[in-house]
Amino acid sequence: MNYLEVYNEWIENPYFDDETKQELKGIKDDDNEIKERFYKSLEFGTAGLRGVIGAGTNRMNIYTVRKATQGLANYIIKAGKSDKGVAIAYDSRHMSPEFADEAALCLNANGIKAYVFESLRPTPELSFAVRELDCVAGINVTASHNPPKYNGYKVYWEDGAQITPPNDVGIMAEVSAVSDWNTVKTMDKAEACEKGLYNQIGKEIDDKYIEALKSQVIHWDAIKEMGDKITVVYTPLHGTGNIPARRVLEEIGFKNVYVVPEQELPDGDFPTVSYPNPEAAEAFELALKLAKEKDADIVLATDPDADRLGVYVKDEKSGEYLTLTGNMSGSLLAEYELSQRKERDGSLPSDGKLIKTIVTSNLADAVAANYNIDVIECLTGFKYIGQQILGFEQTGVGEYLFGFEESYGCLIGTHARDKDAIVATMALCEAAAYYKTQGKTLWDVMLDMYDRYGYYKDGIQSVTMEGMEGLEKIQNIMDELRNNPPKEFCGYKVLAFRDYKKDTITDLTTNEVKPTGLPESNVLYFDMSDNAWMCVRPSGTEPKIKFYYGVVGESLDDAEAKSKAMGEAVSKFVDAL
């Protein structure tokens, strides 16, 4: 059927409720809007669903959520694991509680138990709950840092990580196979509760999660000494982080924690920001104002589902607050965790591993080399870091020490298998306390790292291209780079070209070709002279194409200049196509 036929089916089919039909009748004279809502089904990809809330096959609504859940239920049943339950969490976005219940009741109608959090919870606690409750899967209703009009649906497997091969492919196939809306099951909530299929969870999991975080503290002594001398400003950006972040900091001993009052309470409109993303400077405006009033040492912001942490630290010399990118904060935490574990234990495990994604700073490699730790690279997406942890457990070979990705996500410990901004909040405050005992700020430590390892500077440009035309342009950019890889870029010679879709690494000097060793993915990577690099990939969750790049300078100013030049070269390349 074409998009108009599908549109009319939704209006005429008694399966869809009157509210949905009224919304659709309101756009009957807007052909473009009808097309955008119905020209395709909202794609269930490797990250699950994410889209604009509204009626239509290409929108997030109770029907697309039910359909996705029916596919998941079918996969669980065929895998012979329907006797294990599914944990479900949700964030502060519009329709999140409703979508969580719709998912639970669809599972229940298929004979599968659901364990639903009583109120909003952070993503990493959902990952923790999956393993703690011995579930077969988890569902998290969240659109992370997207604008208010979005919501999403992430699926986790029994190891607590987001789905990876072969489960992701199998679940996607089952979701795609659901073609008749009348085959999508649901049931009455009261009946589901009475039959023990719908179960509410909360405090018991909260307590165990917080204890798991506290077990990662290395320097209780430093916190005891400096807990009342470190001032922290924190904002949950109207999301899920407020209660757990404040709780863990209070319980380990930090006395001066100030929460931005305007952003404290959950609110799906995110009224104080246009884009609730801790990577955006705008998200920190209110926090930095409060930081100056309180003379804070560290300023922290978690995104709405609290899996990513943005950071500003005070430079005592200038009195200014300076941002740490995800690469910087991740590398700083890697340095702290590795150095202090080595100091505490006398040595690090001989098979210890630091895991990072292919678009993450090479500063991580320099840190790991300093501590004689192997680095494992994986594809973009923290689920691949979780997959590596599972591999260590299954084989008994390898010990996870730290993992992070450039997009403000890291994991300390293995209590969860997704990035955890709550444990990162705790660890950064602990690090601030420890270094303060040495008369250093976190910015001082960052400068020390640059002096020791090199002035690494990493950047990213995300180019938004919405709609059908945008998808075509993104594909054209990837085709051009794949079929005609540049031999030089921004004055750097391209030494090697990695095509993760073709599983090839081509040495452009010798023309030798070898495999990447990673799963197939539509990602291109260019290794360049002077330790420069660039990676290009379409976003898996948003209508964007992303250019990641890194340089190494002789000083902070030199690195900044080289990075700026690289960014300008990327813009010129995109504009020329």
Active site residues: 144
Q: What angle do CA 191, 89, 97 make, to 5 degrees?
A: 65
Q: Which two tokens stand for residue 475?
A: 């594909």
Cis omega (within 30 of 0) on the bond before 124? no
Find all residues with CB under 8 Å of 531, minimum gap 6, and list them. Answer: 362, 454, 550, 551, 552
Query: Is residue 206 within 8 Å of residue 124, measured between CB atoms?
Result: no
Task: Strands of 236-294 (E only): list them.
Answer: 256-259
Pairwise CA distance, residues 481 & 488, whole Å = 12
Structure tokens at 361: 């700073």
**Alpha-carbon span 338 to 434, nearest angstrom:** 14
Residues whose CB is less than 8 angstroms from the CB of residue 325 and which lie 6 or more positions away in sequence, other chains included = 406, 458
What are the E-state strand segments in 176-308? 198-201, 231-235, 256-259, 298-302
Rounded to 10°, the helix 421-437/123-132 angle is 110
Angle of helix 421-437 relative to helix 242-252, nearest 10 degrees, comes to 30
Of residues 317, 325, 289, the one with CA closest to residue 456:
325
- Which DSSP symbol is given to 524? E
Short-list 305, 302, 295, CA closest to 329: 302
Q: How many angstroms separate the CA atoms of 267 and 221, rounded?
A: 38
CA distance 416 to 233: 25
> Number of helices (H) and strands (E), helices first, in the chain?
19, 23
Q: Which of 388, 378, 376, 383 is nearest to 418 (CA)?
A: 383
Dihedral sign computed on CA atoms, order 558, 563, 566, 568: negative
Strand partners, 312: 299, 323
CA neighbor of 16 nearest in space, from 80, 59, 74: 59
| Sequence-distant (≥ 6) Cβ neighbours of residue 87 within 8 angstroms | 114, 115, 117, 126, 129, 130, 133, 135, 137, 138, 139, 156, 201
Helix 242-252 / helix 203-214 crossing angle, nearest 10 deg: 50
Cα–Cα distance measured from residue 63 to residue 49, given in angstroms and rounded to the nearest whole number: 12
If DSSP codes are grouped into helix, strand and coil, which group holds residue 326?
A: helix
**Would you state the structure tokens that stand for residue 368, as one six-digit string?**
């790991």
Rounded CA separation 337/359 (Å): 21
- Other Cβ atoms closer than 10 A to 494: 20
Q: Which amino acid is at 422?
A: I
